[in-house]
Amino acid sequence: MRLLSSRRRHPAAKALLLVAALFVIGAVYAAVAPTQQSAAEPNTSQQVTKGKELFSVNCSSCHGLNGEGTSQGPSLVGVGAAAVNFQVSTGRMPLAQPGAQAPVKPREFDDEEVAALAAYVATLGPGPAIPNASQYSTDGLTDEEIARGGELFRTNCSACHNFTGRGGALPGGKHAPSLFGVSNLHIYEAMLTGPQQMPVFSDQVLPSQQKRQIIAYLEAIHQEPNHGGLDLGGLGPVSEGIVGWAIGIGCLIGFAIWITARGARAR
Ligand code: HEC
Ligand code: HEC
C-alpha cells in the first residue's frame, strides 16, 4: 500500500519541481536582465561623451582630435580601454614632454575620469577591455601554479625585468621598470597591451590563467622576507654563480698553494 502511494506521488512531484525551477529561472531573469540593460546604456554614452571632452582637452594635442595620432603621439585606434587605464592610472599619460620613455608619475585623473577616457578610446576601434577582478585575482592558486608562474616569468619576462622583477636597462636610454609594488591590475594590463618595447602577450600567447599565475608568482617573491646576507643585487643565477665560482675557485686555489707550500717544507 505504502509503496503504491509513494509511486503515485513521484510523477506529480517531478512536474511540480519542474514548474518551480522554471519559475525561479524566470524570476531571476526578470530581476537581472532588464535592469542591467536599461542601466548600462545611458551611462556608457554619457561616459563616452565625458571621455571625449577630457580627451580633446588633455590628449588630442599629441594623439589627434579623433585619436588618429600625430607626429607627437601614436594613433590610439584599437589600443583598447586596457591601454588607456594602464597609461593614465600609472600617470604615464598625459605625457608632459617628449622623452625616451613616458615616466611614471602621480596620476592626474580620478577613477571616474580614467573610466570615461577609456570608454571613449574603446569606441575608436576594438581593443582589449579592462580586465575584471576575476582575471587578475590570485585567490585560490596552488603552490604548484605559482611555481608554474615562476617558470612562465623566467621564459617571458626576465630578459627585460630581471629574474626577481627588479627591472633593468634597455638600449636607447630606456628601461624595463621594477615590478615591485605594481598592482595586479596593472601587471595584467601591461601584458595585455605591451607598453613601449614590451611585447603584447595576448590571450592566445599567454592565456588568462597563465597571466594569473605570473601575477601570483610576483606577489609571492615580493612578499618573501629578505633572509639577510648579500643578495648581489638580485641579478639572478648568472651573477650569483660567477661570484660563487670566483670565491669558491679562489679559495680552492689558495688552499692548493698552501698545501704545496707545506708539502715542500715538510720534504
Ligand atoms: C605630449 C604628448 C602626449 C600627450 C599630451 C598624451 N600622450 Fe599618450 N602617448 C604619447 C606618446 C609619445 C606615446 C608613446 C610613447 C610611449 O609608449 O611611451 C603615447 C602613448 C599612449 C598610449 C599607449 C598606446 C599603445 O599603443 O599602447 C595611450 C593609451 C595613450 N598614450 C593615451 C593618452 C591619453 C588618454 C592622454 C590624455 C589623458 C594622452 N595619451 C596624452 C604622447 C602623448
Ligand atoms: C622586451 C622587453 C620586455 C619584456 C620581455 C617584458 N617587458 Fe614588461 N616592460 C618593458 C618595458 C620597456 C616597460 C616600460 C613601458 C613604459 O614605460 O611605457 C615594461 C613595463 C611593464 C610593466 C609596468 C610597470 C609599471 O611600473 O607600471 C609591467 C607590470 C610589466 N612590464 C610586466 C611584464 C611581464 C609580466 C612580462 C612577461 C610576461 C613582461 N613585462 C615582459 C619591457 C619588457
Residue 96 CA: nearest ligand 1 atom is 1
Pick the closest to residue 83 from 222, 200, 167, 166 (CA basis).
200
Residues 79, 116: Cα–Cα separation, whole Å:
15
Q: Ligand 1 centroid to 87 CA: how many Å?
A: 7
Q: How far is CA 218 from CA 164, 184, 202, in A?
A: 8, 9, 19
Written as nine digits, the cell of 58 is: 588633455
**Cα–Cα distance, 38 to 34 (Å, whole number):** 6
- Backbone angles phi and psi of 168, in degrees to 5: -170, 170
pLDDT value for 83:
97
> How confident is the model at residue 100, as a pLDDT?
82
Q: Is the CB of 195 under 6 A from ligand 2?
A: yes
**Which among 160, 170, 167 has a CA at the least distance from the CA of 182?**
167
Element (H, E) at 62: helix 60-63
* pLDDT for res 38: 39
pLDDT for position 43: 62
Question: Which ligand gives the minimal distance to the CA of 80?
Answer: 1
Where do the domains of the chain lie, and which CATH numbers do they carry?
34-129 (1.10.760.10), 131-222 (1.10.760.10)
CA angle 186, 205, 220 (to 5 degrees): 45
List CB contacts of 239: < 8 A, sequence separation 6 or more: 232, 233
Distance (Å, whole) CA 259 – CA 248: 17
Report mean pLDDT in 10-residue bins for the chain, 267 residues: 55 71 65 45 81 96 95 95 96 90 92 96 94 93 95 96 91 92 96 95 94 96 68 59 78 87 74
φ/ψ of 176, rounded to 5, equals -95, 120
Beta strands in 122-233 (DSSP E): 168-170, 174-176
Ligand with an atom nearest the CA of residue 165: 2
Cβ atoms of residues 116 and 191 within 8 Å: no
Q: Decide: 101 in ligand 1 pocket, CB within 6 A.
A: yes
* Amino acid at site 83: A
Using alpha carbons, list the distances in angstroms from residue 18 to 11, 14, 15, 22, 31: 11, 6, 5, 6, 20
Cell of 97: 614632454
* Coil vs helix vs strand at 238: helix
Rounded-to-integer distance, Cα 187 and Cα 164, Å: 15
- Ligand 1 site, residue 191, Cβ cutoff 6 A: no
Q: State the pTM of this model.
A: 0.77
- Judged by its nearest atom, the ligand closest to the C-alpha of residue 124 is 1
Q: Which residues contact 44 (CB under 8 A, 6 or more apart)?
A: 119
Whole-number pLDDT of residue 259: 85
